Amino acid sequence: MTEQAKWNFDNSYTRLPQPFFARLKPNPVRSPKLVLFNEPLATALGLNGEALQQPEGVAVLAGNVIPEGGEALAQAYAGHQFGHFTMLGDGRALLIGEQITPDGNRFDIQLKGSGRTPFSRGGDGRAALGPMLREFLISEAMHALGIPTTRSLAVVTTGEEIWRETELPGAVLTRVAKSHLRVGTFQYAAGRGEVSDVKTLADYAIKRHYPELAESENPYLSLLEQVISRQAKLISQWQLVGFVHGVMNTDNMTISGETIDYGPCAFMDNYDPATVFSSIDTQGRYAYGNQPQIANWNLARFAETLVPLLAEDETKGVEMAQSAIEGFKGQYVSNWLAGMRKKLGLFNAEDGDKDFVEKLLRLMHEHEADYTNTFRLLTLGQPEKTAMNGAAEFSEWLEQWQQRQSRQAQTKDEAMKLMRTNNPAVIPRNHRVEEALAAAVDEEDDSLVKQLIAVLKEPYAYSEEQERYAEVPERCQHGYVTYCGT
Ligand code: AMP
Ligand code: MG
């Protein structure tokens, strides 16, 4: 079987000191059944997709069998959850190994919903089908949008019911990630009070994600700067597509710069910085407009853990950490502005660009214009179809935009092409996602989920088929609420 599926595992995490993980045995489930499988991802990982979809392969994806070469473990980590520090760890996930791909890359293969671990606290270690399908769908959509993210290889139902507020079908998601190192992993190491643990972890992170930094003058400062710069880029990409993560706790922020943990996330419809979907985010801490600031706060927690490694003198270390953290905002804004220019077909930079973009956003806010569709309609040359049509200020803005474009060397056609590759024609619309998940969970009909996944594969295609998926929900759908689904 092992040869057939072509698992090719290494287990570098098991070579870290013991406190970083707990070894685990499989927690078999009754009758695994494959619901979704990501064939192109399997191929990219060097896996044999056909073999994996056979019962023996599915047994692995359900966590019933650990393939030869894999060493199952749960990772320890901590995290600030809604601002409060807690010791956590994989309470319902199992790392089965690190797949080494044919081109020599390394990816964690993690089963989510695979049963209890020493870190489960009061939880059952399980996951419900709906949220696992949701993670598959949205993480793959993010990938197609060109946004760094963990990927989804498969969803398997377990044949067991789990109890949330009601009885739900249980499921296991196979998550693929550059690693599962989080800000919270560093907080865990630092929280134990052993600087040597933080150093071991930082060396591991450098080796795994930023090997070129090992030679730099101060590798730990370089690590901090790199993570800041990856996150500044990542969050700008979220903002540019209107993605609301929903639970930006420090344990849900990666060192690799990948988006992780698709719990209560959702895409914003009408532009509003205060947009919150998560039922538990009652204070709006993780609202759309707060995401850059929260990322900055989380990175400051990361920096704190590295202080003892930055310099022998603590005051000096703190200064270095602070000055690195202060770099976040500028980097974020410049990434975001560069992305906005592309969304508006602008190739060059002018002084007034930020104000110009903010004016459009303000108008969108005032007129409750749909974020994605405004840019889509501008791309299609149909500004008259936006919710702002008829407003004098919008006409003025359009005029300014014309003039702004005419001041660049590129033709209108080139500008339009740039817009088409930067403004998605489709995003995972909340009502579409819900409709598809309801069919899969309530009717055991996964055709809508599969269709939606297919449509979201090429978000910049502007195909006829996609038009239906660009429709915004009825007004009564305002106030969409998401749940963590744990
Ligand atoms: P999350 O909200 O998914 O980021 O999870 C936060 C923490 O709660 C992590 O330590 C998870 O492993 C843990 N957790 C979430 N759901 C469960 C569950 N059903 N059983 C045990 N632990 C869980
Ligand atoms: Mg998490």
Say if residue 191's pLDDT is above 50. yes
Is the shortest distance between the CB of 14 and ligand 1 below 6 Å? no
Beta bridge partners of 243: 267
Q: Is the same domain home to 98 and 242?
A: no
Burial 168-193 (b: 16+ CB within 10 A, else e): bbbbbbbbbbbbbbbbbbbbbbbbee
Does 57 reside within a domain? Answer: yes
Q: How many CA atoms lie within 13 A of 26 on its CB side?
A: 16
Rounded to whole angstroms, how far apart are CA atoms 144 and 122?
36
How confident is residue 480, by pLDDT bands cut at 50, 70 and 90? Answer: confident
Provide the domain limits for residue 322. Answer: 212-429+471-486
Best residue among 94, 95, 248, 486 to mutate for probing ligand 1's pocket (most ligand atoms within 8 Å of CB) is 486
Atom of ligand 1 nearest to the CA of 81: 6
Q: Is the same domain home to 113 and 217?
A: no
Atom of ligand 1 nearest to the CA of 249: 4
Say if residue 24's pLDDT is above 90. yes
Per-residue model confidence (pLDDT) at position 1? 42
Say if residue 2's pLDDT is above 60. no
Q: Is the same domain home to 161 and 231?
A: no
Q: Which amino acid is at 416?
A: M
Say if residue 479's pLDDT is above 80. no
**The two structure tokens encoding residue 127:** 């996951």
H-type alpha helices, 367-463: 371-379, 392-406, 412-420, 430-442, 447-456
Span from the CA of 203 to the centroid of ligand 2 (angstroms) = 23
How confident is residue 340, by pLDDT bands cut at 50, 70 and 90? Answer: very high
Q: Is the same domain home to 324 and 223?
A: yes
CA 246 vs. chain centroid, Å, equals 11
Q: Is the same domain home to 243 and 115?
A: no
E strands, 64-166, in order: 73-75, 78-81, 84-87, 93-100, 106-112, 127-128, 151-163
Per-residue model confidence (pLDDT) at position 217? 97
Is the shortest distance between the CB of 91 and ligand 1 below 6 Å? yes
What sign does the dihedral 328-294-207-195 (CA atoms) show? positive
Per-residue model confidence (pLDDT) at position 182? 98
Does 403 reside within a domain? Answer: yes
Does 457 reside within a domain? Answer: no
Is the shortest distance between the CB of 90 and ligand 1 below 6 Å? yes
Span from the CA of 252 to the centroid of ligand 2 (angstroms) = 5
Best residue among 77, 88, 90, 92 to mutate for probing ligand 1's pocket (most ligand atoms within 8 Å of CB) is 92
Per-residue model confidence (pLDDT) at position 484? 66
Atom of ligand 1 nearest to the CA of 251: 4
Which of 177, 196, 226 is the last residue in one of the domains? 177
Does 185 reside within a domain? Answer: no
The candidate with the shortest Cα–Cα distance to 175, out of 262, 100, 49, 67, is 262
Over residues 465-472, the mean pLDDT reads 90
Q: Is the same domain home to 116 and 252?
A: no
How confident is residue 478, by pLDDT bands cut at 50, 70 and 90? Answer: low
| Average confidence score pLDDT of the chain | 96
Spell out which residues have Cβ within 5 A of ligand 2, the ion.
Answer: 252, 261
Span from the CA of 433 to the centroid of ligand 2 (angstroms) = 21
Over residues 336-348, the mean pLDDT reads 98
Is the shortest distance between the CB of 123 and ligand 1 below 6 Å? yes
Rounded to whole angstroms, how far apart are CA atoms 77 and 188?
5
Which of 117, 152, 177 is the last residue in one of the domains? 177
Is the shortest distance between the CB of 86 and ligand 1 below 6 Å? no
Atom of ligand 1 nearest to the CA of 88: 10
Per-residue model confidence (pLDDT) at position 483? 77
How confident is residue 382, by pLDDT bands cut at 50, 70 and 90? Answer: very high
Over residues 141-154, the mean pLDDT reads 98
Is the shortest distance between the CB of 458 and ligand 1 below 6 Å? no
Q: Is the same domain home to 172 and 290?
A: no
Say if residue 132's pLDDT is above 80. yes
User: Model confidence over 200-242: pLDDT tens digits?
Assistant: 999 999 999 999 999 999 999 999 999 999 999 999 999 999 9
* Cβ–Cβ under 8 Å, residues 110 and 174: yes
- Work out how many domains the chain is built from and give that number: 2
Per-residue model confidence (pLDDT) at position 159? 98
Q: Which residues are catalytic?
A: 251
Q: Is the same domain home to 154 and 237?
A: no
Q: Is the same domain home to 169 and 249?
A: no
Over residues 153-160, the mean pLDDT reads 98
Percent of the chain with pLDDT over 90: 95
